[in-house]
Amino acid sequence: MSADAHLPVLLHPAVDALEIASRSGGTFVDATFGRGGHSRLILERLGPHGRLIAIDRDPDAVRAAREIRDPRLVAVQARFSEFQAVLDELRAGGVDGVLFDLGVSSPQLDDPRRGFSFRFDAPLDMRMDPSQGASALDWLERADEAEIREVLSSYGEERFAKQIAKAIVAARRGGALRRTGELAAVVAAAVRTREPGQDPATRTFQAVRIYVNQELEELSLTLPQALAALRPLGRLAVISFHSLEDRIVKRFMREAARPAVPERLPLRARELPPPKLRIVGRPVRPGAAEIRSNPRARSAILRVAEKLAA
Ligand SMILES: C[S@@+](CC[C@H](N)C(=O)[O-])C[C@H]1O[C@@H](n2cnc3c(N)ncnc32)[C@H](O)[C@@H]1O
């Protein structure tokens, strides 16, 4: 695979879930274009009058999307939390399916200049859109120890958050925390036990990345917008890669699949406001063959729901 390629995870199950064939003239949104693995299959299934809106906050991803010469595709550089604004700008009205394939892409991890990975020594950046917000370095330089500890513990589920936060603060005082290699070395020295098959810095890098990109907030802000934009029978398909994301998706779908809590009580059963979504099938995980050929798929989980008529 070339350094700029991304092997899509759960490609067919996710795109099948959108049921494009039954509304091939409809509008679909790929909220996480990456390198377009899912988008290309959506385009294959979309009819000549269909439309695909591809969103990514990463300028490299949007550049890759714009190289696809297809009049049915429009690529927008935006945070997906700007979902409704993007649709308004494009005068898109309702949509028939929305796909999220969360997290980072292989090109982001594999481009040493992006500073996402402890595998390459690079300036600590980790922003999906390097022109927006604070980099990992900006944040690690000014955060206090308690805040670092809290981020490592909640976003990395790191048992040694306390020791690592302390070591980070000590290292930055000495000016030795500007690069990914330095952060990885500080973590390795602070963590006493090793999880098998995992670099000791894995959890720290995950936590800092999630925090710097506000990944969980983005997701929580966007799911309600996607639901609101869906037409009746429209599909929402979300692939997550760790339990923090999946918990948000699962809760959101479950809540929306329950009758809304009535403002006036008591109500008779038939007076209850109807649910907004129907959960479709059971969560889908990649099979052994996919995990063998793409280890990144290991922790993936796909959840699908369908918008119910109002
Ligand atoms: C796992 S990759 C998607 C891969 C894609 N499905 C493919 O097959 O090539 C996730 C992509 O979502 C983008 N992304 C993550 N969070 C985002 C957000 N809040 N807003 C917009 N794009 C986001 C990342 O920049 C990354 O390119």
Would you say 133 and 125 are in contact if contact means Cβ atoms under 8 Å apart?
Answer: no
Residue 261: pLDDT over 90:
no
**Residue 51 backbone phi and psi in degrees, to 5:** -140, 135
Average confidence (pLDDT) over 246-265: 88
The whole-angstrom separation of Cα 224 and Cα 236 is 11
Q: How far is CA 230 from the centre of its chain?
A: 19
Residue in 32, 53, 213 to alter for ligand 1 test, most ligand atoms within 8 A of Cβ = 32
**Residue 253 backbone phi and psi in degrees, to 5:** -65, -40
The residue with tokens 């979300």 is 238
145-156 and 202-212 helices, crossing angle to 10°: 100
| Backbone angle region of 126, left / alpha / beta, with phi > 0 → left and psi within -120 to 50 → alpha | left
In this predicted model, what pLDDT tens digit does every residue of 130-148 receive, in sequence order? 999 999 999 999 999 999 9
**Predicted pLDDT of residue 262:** 67
Percent of the chain with pLDDT over 90: 85
**Predicted pLDDT of residue 157:** 93
Half-sphere exposure of 2 (CA within 13 A, CB side): 3
Dist. CA 30 → ligand 1 center (Å): 9
In this predicted model, what pLDDT tens digit does every residue of 191-216 receive, in sequence order? 977 778 788 999 999 999 999 999 99
Dist. CA 262 → ligand 1 center (Å): 36
**Predicted pLDDT of residue 2:** 67
Cα dihedral 83, 114, 216, 207 in deg (nearest 10): 180
Is the pTM value of this prediction over 0.75? yes
Measured by CA distance, the residue closest to atom 12 of ligand 1 is 32
Instruction: Encode burial over 102-131: b for 16+ CB neighbours within 10 A, e otherwise.
Output: bbbbbbbbbbeebbbbbebebebbbbbbee
Dist. CA 107 → ligand 1 center (Å): 11
Residue in 2, 12, 28, 33 to alter for ligand 1 test, most ligand atoms within 8 A of Cβ = 33
Atom of ligand 1 nearest to the CA of 222: 19
Residue 91: pLDDT over 70:
yes
Q: Tokens for 250, please give them.
A: 């699962």
Would you say 42 and 30 are in contact if contact means Cβ atoms under 8 Å apart?
Answer: yes
What residue ranges line ligand 1, CB within 6 angstroms?
6, 8, 32, 34-38, 55-58, 61, 79-80, 101, 103-105, 128, 218
